[in-house]
Amino acid sequence: MFGMAVFVLFVFYGLLTYHQMQVLKQDLQTSYQNLANDEIRVAIDTAHLDIKKHAVEFASWEEVTQQIDNPYYYAYWYNHRSLNAGVVPDYVVDVAIYDKSGNVLSKIASSTLPDAVTEDALTSYIDINKDKVEMVVFEKIEKESPSGIFQGYISMRSNLIPELIEFKQYNYVDHDSIKIKSTEVSKLLVSDFSRYISYDLRPNPIVDDMVGIVKDMLFRMALIIIVPTLLMYPFVSYLVAKPLKAISRHIDSLKNKTASIEANSLAKKLPVSELEKVRNSLNEYHQQLFEVHKSLDDKNRELWNMAHHDPLTGALNRRAFDEHWRSITQMFSGGRMDICLAIFDVNNFKALNDTYGHQLGDEVLKGIAQSIMKVLRKGEHLYRLGGDEFATVFINCTEQEALHVAERCHQAVVDCPFNDQGVLEPVRISIGLSETRNVPDHEMLLALQWQADVAMYSAKQPGKANIAVFSEEMTDKIKGIFSSWVNNIVYEAIASGDDIVIFYQPIVRLEDRVVEYYEALVRIEHDGKMVLPSDVFQIVEARSLDAEMDIAILEKIYHDLGSGKIPTGTGVSINVSGLSIVTKDVLEILYKFTRFIDDYKLVIEVTETSLITQIEAASKNLNKLREKGFYIALDDFGSGYSSVRYLGTMPVDIVKFDISLIRSLADESQQLIVKHLAEMIAGTGHKLVAEGIETEDLLKKVNELEFFYGQGYLFGRPEPRPLEQPGLLDGTHSS
């Protein structure tokens, strides 16, 4: 009876132990399932953040804003550039660009994205089509312009399942088993998507060990169903049941996130080695769980930094600037606080990139950013807005203080040893400042960005300092740069050449007034309206289109020579910018002109103020052209500060005195200076050209000096077609 009681007691205890083991197993399985569900949600959120990051990068891509500005070539761009330029990863399958009204720029038959979006419908969603699962995200396109920041929208469609499978942080999910449950729903919110994913859990070694330990323990107990078992029962209860209950409570605490409290009860070593093994497994599991959460926190911080920092220069990026600027407009609108916005732009950066390559150009940008960040005061940050443009915000800073910091920034860039990296030309930046006055309201703060941009372009103008503070007078002087109508006409003219018209003004020998050659002057005419050359070349210089513009002009002049428009026996003078003369494409087109060398005098005019940055390369190319029969003319002599230097180092045949020098002949106090200058230049063997001769009185003064050629309204105005028969001119053609 006693033995039966012992047996029954043993069976009861065995069943109790087995039940507790099953409870532990179920608790662990439930905990693992919850953790696996969390991993799936984290994987979806991480994929969503990654795709949103690429959408932000795509929206800030310069070519996207170009499509917004001029959607004429959108279909071509969509098919050949949108997914093939390396801006978006391979798992992005479709993109679309929308204007401010939310309409797609052009309907593409193959596009699977919506043709229109609204401000209220920009939420990301999951698109399920059979076994294909794709995520669709939207992003605003924001860029500074006179009309404001907002430009339009983009949408992006990406394969989602590969992103989920490739997620590196799975500890509990078997990623190879991830698949989509069958559902009649084709479109889901991102937050609801995890409910439609099925997967298998990875094997659970803790549960398997637990089952094995308990089975082994029961087997051992079965061997001792005798009196010693009864005698050992209290000890077994103490050694096994109590620790198991503590472990069970510890598992429950893990689910309730109070594990640290229960962990204290498991701090001492357990008396049974198997239970000690279980305890160690649980501790390892808890440590792994902690590391998973820590890793997720680190990833979130890393994603934030990636989304707000420029990886090249280390400065904050455009997204960070926009967020900071929005907070400024909210915090300081209507408050008595001086706010100044500074925009930095690298001068002639496109030419530097073309000459030395993009790798060295990137090093220059990093050097500029580091130089400026060292100068900025505590609490001030540098933002890279895109390309070679940076910005910073001065808060509670007067105009004089902002100017002082800007001057230090400019000097820091000047002092940066770029020549150690192989850059031969001086690297300079232009800085535009715009500040609030009195009490800033919301509209005033929004206008600061446009005003700083205007000031920056004003600082780039020839003869200006490298730093400019916005004033209303600047708007009229460079309005062409910010006119969408003028910009579109100039871009279209350069791309097609249709609206470019070449006018020709005669240059005559002063001794007999016979036309020697004609200067080719460019005009742009669109729908009967003439765009002023001053507006055209402001845009060309500001947008770094010098080479593209010169190529379009050269093609027109080449056609005019080939069609006999220019009288045989004369010639043509072609203006080429200093930035273009070092460009391979421009040089190759000029070589084509050699077929006309026998019939025409061909002159290459280079403005002396444009040669400063790459004088060595310019001299080399001009020497090649000279060897092929071209004459080289230095234009606008006396308007810059390096004229005599160029005469000593450049291959120059003809020197054109700037119109300001010729007009100064009317002032007797300056006549002597011009006379000695002309005698000195003519004495070195150069032929001199006097520009701007409009009256017989001025011609008389010019004839008294060493000038060989003359140009001006007295001899003839620029005309679309030069005189068919060159001969003596008496001034009657000046009307």
Please indicate, yes or no, if residue 516 is contained in any of the structural domains.
yes
Helix axes 533-542, 546-562, angle to 10 degrees: 130
Question: Domain containing 534 — which CATH number?
Answer: 3.20.20.450
Three-state DSSP class for 637?
A: strand
> What pTM, to 2 d.p., does this model score?
0.46
pLDDT given at position 214: 67
Is residue 462 a contact partner of residue 354, using CB atoms and an 8 Å limit?
Answer: no
Same domain as 463, residue 486: no
Q: Is the same domain home to 620 and 511?
A: yes
Instruction: Kindly provide the residue ranges of all beta strands, DSSP E only, lying in 616-704, ordered along the sequence.
Output: 631-637, 654-657, 687-690
In a domain, 8, yes or no: no
CATH number of domain containing 95? 3.30.450
Q: How far apart are CA 508 and CA 730, in angstroms?
A: 11
User: Which tens digit of pLDDT belongs to each residue from 275-308?
Assistant: 667 767 767 766 676 676 666 666 666 666 667 7
Residue 367 structural domain: 318-470
Q: Are 172 and 199 in contact (CB under 8 A)?
A: no
Regarding whether 515 and 463 lie in a shared domain, the answer is no
Res 689: pLDDT: 95
Residues in the chain: 735
Asked if 387 and 432 sit in the same domain, the reply is: yes
Q: Please check whether residues 424 and 490 belong to one and the same domain.
A: no
Q: What Rg value do the Cα atoms of the chain yield, rounded?
A: 39
pLDDT in the model for residue 153: 92
Same domain, 523 and 377: no
Q: Are residues 543 and 431 in the same domain?
A: no
State the DSSP string of 579-623: TTTT-HHHHHHHHHGGGGTTTSEEEEEEEGGGSSTTHHHHHHHHH
Beta-carbon contacts of 473 under 8 Å, excluding residues fewer than 6 positions away, are none
* C-alpha distance from residue 588 to each of 89, 581, 594 (Å): 37, 10, 11
Last residue of a domain, one of 175, 201, 227: 201
Q: Six-digit token pair at 64?
A: 């996207």
DSSP H or E run through 504? strand 500-509
Q: How far is CA 686 from CA 46, 478, 512, 707, in A?
A: 70, 36, 19, 10
Q: Quick one: pLDDT at residue 441?
A: 58
Q: Are residues 449 and 591 in the same domain?
A: no
> Over the stretch 193-214, which tens digit does the pLDDT of each residue have?
888 888 888 877 766 666 677 6
Based on the fold, state whether residues 462 and 486 are members of the same structural domain: no
Is 192 a domain residue? yes
Give dist(CA 79, CA 645) in Å, integer. 51
- The CB density around residue 578, as the number of other CB atoms within 10 Å, is 21
- At 2, list the tokens: 């006693």
463-468 contacts, C-beta under 8 A, 24 or more apart: 466/347, 466/410, 466/428, 466/429, 466/430, 466/431, 467/403, 467/406, 467/407, 467/410, 467/430, 467/431, 467/433, 468/430, 468/431, 468/432, 468/433
In this prediction, residue 443 carries a pLDDT of 62
State the DSSP code for 166: T
**Boundary residue ending a domain (181, 201, 221):** 201
Q: Can you give the CATH number for the domain in which 357 is found?
A: 3.30.70.270
Residue 646 and residue 726 share a domain? yes
Asked if residue 577 is part of any domain, the answer here is yes
450 and 365, same structural domain? Answer: yes
Distance CA 406, CA 400 (A): 10
- Give the Cα separation of 355 and 348 in Å (integer): 11
Q: What are phi and psi of 422, to 5 degrees?
A: 105, 5
From 201, 217, 243, give the residue that closes a domain: 201
Kindly state whether residue 426 falls inside one of the protein's structural domains. Answer: yes
The per-residue pLDDT for 642 is: 46
Q: In this structure, are 381 and 499 located in the same domain?
A: no
User: How far, in Å, are 136, 138, 188, 210, 631 from residue 55 at the CA level?
Assistant: 10, 7, 19, 48, 53
Reduce the DSSP state of residue 651 to 3 states and report it: coil
CA distance 160 to 203: 26
In a domain, 33, yes or no: no
Q: Please check whether residue 222 lies inside any domain of the structure.
A: no
C-beta of residue 97 within 8 angstroms of C-beta of residue 154 = yes
Residue segments in the chain with a per-residue pLDDT below the cut of 50: 2, 439, 610-612, 641-642, 725-735
Residue 168, pLDDT score: 62
β-pairing verdict for 500-509 and 467-469: unpaired
Residue 259 within a domain: no
Tell me if 46 sits within 8 A of 299, measured CB to CB: yes
Residue 693, phi then psi, degrees to nearest 5: -80, 115
Give the number of domains in the chain: 3
Cα distances from 563 to residues 522, 540, 714, in angstroms, run 18, 28, 28
